[in-house]
Amino acid sequence: MKGFLSFIREQGVVGLAVGFILGGTVSKVVSSLVKDIINPLLSIFLGTKEGLVNASINIGSAKIMWGSFTNTLIDFAVIAAVVYFGVKGLGLDKLDKKKQ
C-alpha cells in the first residue's frame, strides 16, 4: 500500500483526478452561467436579441460562427478559473509531492 500511495503522489495522479472530476461536474453549471447570464448581457451590448452564440459573419457561401467560438472560449476560461481556485481553496494542490 505504501508503494501505491507513493506512486500516486509522485506521478501527480491526485491533481489529474481532481481536475478531471471537477471539470466534468462543473462544466454544466458553467455552461448554464454563460448561456443564461453572460450571453444575454453581451447581447445587450451587441444590440441583438439572438445573443452571442448566433453571431456570425457571412463571406460568400461560408458562415463563420465567431460568436459560438467566443462562447466556447468563455466557457473554457470560467471552467479553468473555477477548477484552479477550487483546488487552491481546498488545498488539494498540496497533496501531490514535488519531484526532485
In the block, cell 462544466 appears at 27
Name the stretches of the chain with pLDDT < 50: none
Does the domain at residues 2-94 carry the CATH identifier 1.10.287?
no
C-alpha–C-alpha distance, residues 43 and 52, integer Å: 6
Q: Read off the pLDDT of residues 59-83 as tens digits, 9 standing for 90 and up.
A: 999 998 888 888 888 888 887 887 7
Contact 83, 23 (CB under 8 A): yes
Q: Where are the beta strands (DSSP E) in 1-100?
A: 57-59, 62-64
**What are the boundaries of each domain within the chain?**
2-94
The pTM of the full predicted model, rounded to 2 decimals, is 0.57
Burial of 97 (0-12, 13-18, 19+ CB in 10 A): middle
